[in-house]
Structure 1
């Protein structure tokens, strides 16, 4: 382990809170409120078995995105009859509506699809993106508000594998990032009209495949201004949400110029610290970085606070609960990390298996839920600063999307079905 500590400088960095009042059970983006992948309230199952499944709803086609929950209704992307589509279900698993777009472009990877990007909502509309380039906003009743095609407008996506970046919302705009082996950019579109508001280049000279990124931006408040934090191409950057102007940049993540290091896991922010998974944990070269979010301009030489080369995740994004970072590694090791120092609070592992973890973990009321690509799901008690495996269950299909919490229930998106799990079946 290699941990380097620097002097702590206090700065206020927080995730933006929108003006729309939403239900406490709403989960309106891939990683939920604060982008932490966690929820402190509610009652969720400790014991997983057939009786835990309240309902299972058939899905029209293969999609790997995570559903969202808005005012008790579920929204997800999935192809139907060869076309990109958005589907809504009610709390009982009944389909409310399905809205189709243009022809689907299917995934290349066995765990990819044309519907990798997850929807996002501001409680007024649903915003979606597909591998085909279709980028759209829908009203909550499924009516199309606007649609455009980013591939037709800005060129082919040159990532080697399937897209993974989801749209994010600022107060006024829906923001998309494309970081690939070509002209890379960050762009904002008007929520109401879909018009392009700003588009800024984001290009770096990096080793092969390190420019290909699958992460999702984070909307934060930085120095009392709404901002967008982006991770990819070996750089963290912070941009003004109103103009796209870069205000802050940190490089220095790959001084040995390792090739074939795309960014997949999205960073998490705790207080003023960004915890960044990098390297290739799947190939035995993990990296974990702690970067202080303060200052302006290029802070590469000053803001790397700590670094580890023995723990990280390649695909799953960490979760945050009670100020601690929880990393589920690609082969099932689980690490609880203090984000201020990078030190391990505890480390353990889930049962060994050849299959890997692609879904990001959820922490709900002190329980960590982790799902392996083959459909094996685990419940771990992390409420007492330790690891205690409580239960496991094997679904009958692959699962790539991340679990989300509902009102005293969990929603799991499999390859063929959407599942609702609860402690007490209604």
Structure 2
């Protein structure tokens, strides 16, 4: 991994991850679904390799984050939004804090706490369906909080808010993409002061305007750039000002009314991969340029009816990206050409995949909604190595730290490690 980062001309933003084992946001330390380190278990069940498990109140779809020995997760309980800090080694609660007012989920997979937290060496940022955003220190003290919907207008999403906050060197950034009044907004981490707000109304038809995806922050040639997928476009923004640098359109050429987007973009090897069309297309965009770069920078587009991912976000490394489709197809592609290298279907189940794949120590980990995690080889062919069932309903993506896997169900958290 270190060699890859050193060799790449494009590196994903890592917020001072000086401590090995940090998992600062929902897609991991490099925002592309790749875990650092080695020694992660590839087989477990309820009586094997479970180091600890803890229940928590409420129903929550968010993915936890880790910084140092602290694991942070969000949920809702008693009409409030709750943030919980656990010791990642023992599972013991260090503190919890409640704030704001819970807004319950609409969808059977929804909740008031679908957005995942973001953390760095100084601050933890949590965001909820209610619009409540808070900055919390490592001791559980709320440093500042605000409600974005009270400030900028009500949530008009048809379903449950899912986008997570992302961090730049100095800012916390939230994307709000909905039927009207879509925007990106950035706040100073320390003070909560609004630094910039960028309108993002792109006139997609009806529900296609709506997006539940999370932006990606990338450092390119020493400059931080924010990439955003939604409303039939990918846009790139200057992280210091929010101003649009370039855009790619054409993701919805037939102007389908209901192409809302859930799966987020992934960046690797100088390309951005954009899943779209409810799992019907993936587009490879070469990074760089200004203005409308649709004709000049779209390297390839693959289309298939439902073969690709609608909900899970791809993972990418070493010139390849990996998709886990909602119904259990796992596919590997060349990131520069879009050519499929291999693909196969996981053991059949009536349950789907909402969690996103993680690449760790030569393996691909994909977690099904029934709590079963399937481990595949990351090599040159489709190869299932193990099926690992656990009790629970899984929407969150597993996170990896120091040889341990943390698998969150909607009401329970497991720590998995070699015994």
Q: Identify whether the pair has TM-score above 0.5, normalized to the shorter chain.
A: yes
Contact between 1:46 and 1:423, CA under 8 Å: does it hold in 2? no
Contact between 1:409 and 1:421, CA under 8 Å: does it hold in 2? yes
Structure 2 match to 1:57:
54
Give SS of 2:296's match: coil
Structure 1 match to 2:314:
318
Structure 2 match to 1:72:
69
How far is 1:394 from its partner? 2.4
TM-score by length of 1: 0.93
Distance 1:302 1:312 in 2: 24
Say yes or no: does 1:15 pair with 2:12.
yes
Structure 2 match to 1:345:
341
How far is 1:274 from its partner? 0.7
Within 5 Å, give how 1:245-324 maps onto structure 2. 245-281=243-279, 286-310=280-304, 311-324=307-320
339-348 vs 295-304, which deviates more?
295-304
Contact between 2:268 and 2:317, CA under 8 Å: does it hold in 1? no
1:344-377 Cα shifts (integer Å, max 9, x gaps): 1111121112221101111110121111112222
Distance 2:19 2:381 in 1: 31
Distance 1:418 1:131 in 2: 21
Structure 2 match to 1:394:
389
Contact between 2:321 and 2:332, CA under 8 Å: does it hold in 1? yes
Q: 2:375 aligns with which of 375, 379, 397?
A: 379
Contact between 2:252 and 2:259, CA under 8 Å: does it hold in 1? no
TM-score by length of 2: 0.95
Say yes or no: does 1:34 pair with 2:30.
yes
1:117-142 Cα shifts (integer Å, max 9, x gaps): 00001121100100011001000111
How far is 1:220 from its partner? 1.2
Within 5 Å, give how 1:158-177 maps onto structure 2. 158-177=156-175
Say yes or no: does 1:413 pair with 2:411.
no
How far is 1:159 from its partner? 0.7
How far is 1:16 from its partner? 2.6
Distance 2:269 2:61 in 1: 31
Distance 2:211 2:28 in 1: 21
Within 5 Å, give how 1:128-207 maps onto structure 2. 128-207=126-205
Matched positions, count: 408
